[in-house]
A and B are shown apart, each in its own frame.
Chain A
Amino acid sequence: MLTMQFLVTGILTGGIYALVAVSIVLIYKATRIFNFAVGEMLALGGYFCYSFVVWGGLPLWISLPGALVMAVIVGALVERLVLRPLLSQPLLTIIMATLALSVLLKGIMLMVWTGYDVGFPKNLLPGKTVLVGMIAMSHELLWAFGITLVAFAGLAYFFMKTRTGLKMRGVSEDHELSMACGVNIVTIFAVTWMLAAVMGTLAGFLMGYRLALAPSYTPLLALKAFPAVIFGGLESIPGALIGGLLIGVIEGLVGGLIDPNLGEVSAYILLLLVLIFKPEGLFGLKRIERV
């Protein structure tokens, strides 16, 4: 019974990891850049939402969309000010720039929101813990999971039915070809960063609501998403969902049944194993160049 409890909690927590993972995957797919500032971007999103709720005293149905709008602006600014000047520079330079961005954002958060923990009021989202048999599911985790599913369904619709989504898929396949077909890839890059910032903000809000927000440890949540991303395959959006859930489950089971400390590192042990035996991940693409 306890196993089931840990399993369910793990799946529900995994939804948040999946959101972070998809934020990384979106950017990697379209631009081949691994965004190391993802943790800071999601924390920033969480803080925006916090500010609207606590400082502004606004209800959640205004605050969360407000935070998402802010995320879109941040995503656009990051792309315009950090990434676009570096277009066609070596990839390593750009990845280092995302590291610099993470330091910068952390500094900004320390200045604005200080280094202390802040939390959302606990009754922000309605509902209370649900009991199914002996298994307890806390309402914030259920909300988190629901929001994750809606976000992924939205992404799926976006990528299959909208022209921008289709263009993004084309661009992630081949930059030069897409340009030759008349796709403005710089615009697509900007949209990608906005979308990634939105996904990150959702995760930041959910994480902040579940625990608390702090510039020091909220960004570390992204570290949890790295194994999820590698496990699912760097280029696969369904992979990000499944990878995220799986990391949640492993962490829940190992942490609950064996040792909480081991639970923290279990995801990384899995990451090492995946890298040794299936480096392209479960759903990633094995790139074979024909010579």
Chain B
Amino acid sequence: MTAEDQTKLKVEDLNLSFGSVQALMDVSFEVNGDEILALIGPNGAGKTSLLNCVSGFYHAQRGRVSFEGHDISRFSPSKRAKLGISRTFQNIELYTGLTALDNLMAARHVYIKYGPVAGSFFFGKARREEVENRKVVEEIIDLLEMEEVRYRVVESLPYGLRKRVDMGRALALHPKLLLLDEPMAGMNVEEKEDMARFILDIHELWKIPIIIVEHDMGVVMDICHRVVVLDFGLKLAEGTPAEIKQNEKVIQAYLGKE
């Protein structure tokens, strides 16, 4: 088996309910190699719930989530983050009082080993580690073209840029699997094009699988390798963008008839 078709993430028969509301029903899918997978579906279809189950923010009542062959169903979100599952948030979650750079550095904290004593004097080990991590962060800043806003406090940034910092923060964890929750929601065409380019760049450079929840069909069909369609907690269809475009059920439920 080559690296390309190795199963990175495997979701099996996931069931999640909130009281009497069934958010997910027997949902299964796989993410292989370094593909870009899109999760689409109408509002309330369970896309974000599914993403939350993968990142550990929700724990499904039934079903399994495995990452690189290990069952991680019962792992806490922090443990999954350390394993290399990193995510962005639909509503942008950042330390709003810190600069863009500090937000990215804060996300690197799992890689920082020096203790309080070294940190107090900031010689040798502490400085070295800080510089190393700063290099990684600078690469991400470079990749996402955030040089201009590096020292700007996040709170003062416009929405589109904050979205970008959020993505940078997720990347700073050096993920093995990246989850993007509506990375382009509320953006204008130009910003969307930038974001699509960044996603492709990340994919190209880091060779990691990416799961995207997105509403913009144009973007999904353009940049994704495979699409999973959800509707009312059920998996409606799965396939390449071309297949999905032809799928009768999907057209009825979601894309609409012409």
Residues of chain A having any CB pair with chain B under 8 Å: 157, 161-163, 166-167, 170, 173-174, 176-186
Contacts and interface: CB of A to CB of B under 8 A. Distances in A.
Interface stretch (B92-100, B188-196, B197-205): B92-100
B6 interface: no
Given A176-B93, A186-B76, 11 more contacts: A162-B119, A174-B93, A177-B93, A177-B94, A179-B76, A179-B81, A180-B89, A181-B78, A182-B78, A184-B76, A185-B78
Given A163-B109, A167-B109, A176-B89, A182 B81 contact: yes
13 contacts: A162-B119, A163-B116, A173-B95, A173-B96, A174-B94, A174-B95, A176-B93, A178-B78, A179-B78, A179-B81, A180-B55, A182-B109, A186-B76
B221 interface: no
Contacts of A167: 109
Contacts, number: 66
B100 to A, nearest CB: 14
A157 B87 CA distance: 32
Contacts of A179: 56-57, 76-78, 81
The listed residue with most B CB atoms (<10 A of its CB), out of A177, A178, A182, A186, is: A182
A161 B116 contact: yes
B208 interface: no
Contacts of A185: 78
B45 interface: no
B107 interface: yes
B169 interface: yes
The 8 closest A-B pairs by CB, nearest first: A182-B81, A177-B93, A179-B77, A162-B116, A184-B78, A182-B110, A161-B116, A182-B82
A177 B95 contact: yes
B128 interface: no
A166 B110 CA distance: 12
The listed residue with most A CB atoms (<10 A of its CB), out of B57, B76, B86, B115, is: B76
A163 B79 contact: no
Interface string B133-172: 0000000000000000000000000000000000001100
A180 B95 contact: no
Contacts of A182: 78-79, 81-82, 109-110, 173
Interface of B: 55-57, 76-79, 81-82, 86-87, 89, 93-97, 106-107, 109-110, 112, 115-116, 119-120, 169-170, 173
Contacts of A178: 78
The listed residue with most A CB atoms (<10 A of its CB), out of B57, B81, B169, is: B81
Contacts of B86: 180
A92 B74 CA distance: 28
Nearest to B107: A181
B165 to A, nearest CB: 12
A162 to B, nearest CB: 4
A161 B119 contact: yes
B185 to A, nearest CB: 15
Given A170-B106, A186-B76, A180 B116 contact: no
A181 B106 contact: yes
A73 B77 CA distance: 27
B15 to A, nearest CB: 19
The listed residue with most A CB atoms (<10 A of its CB), out of B107, B109, B115, is: B109
A185 B56 CA distance: 13
Contact of B109 (A161, A166, A180): A166
Contacts of B96: 173
Given A170-B106, A173-B95, A180 B170 contact: yes
A117 to B, nearest CB: 41
Nearest to A169: B95
A96 to B, nearest CB: 22
A170 B173 CA distance: 16
Contact of B87 (A161, A173, A174, A180): A180
A181 B116 contact: no
A180 B81 contact: yes
Contacts of B120: 161
B93 A180 contact: yes
Nearest to B120: A161
A35 B89 CA distance: 31
B129 to A, nearest CB: 12
Contacts of B56: 179
A177 B119 CA distance: 24
A170 B116 CA distance: 17
A174 B155 CA distance: 14
A184 B107 CA distance: 13
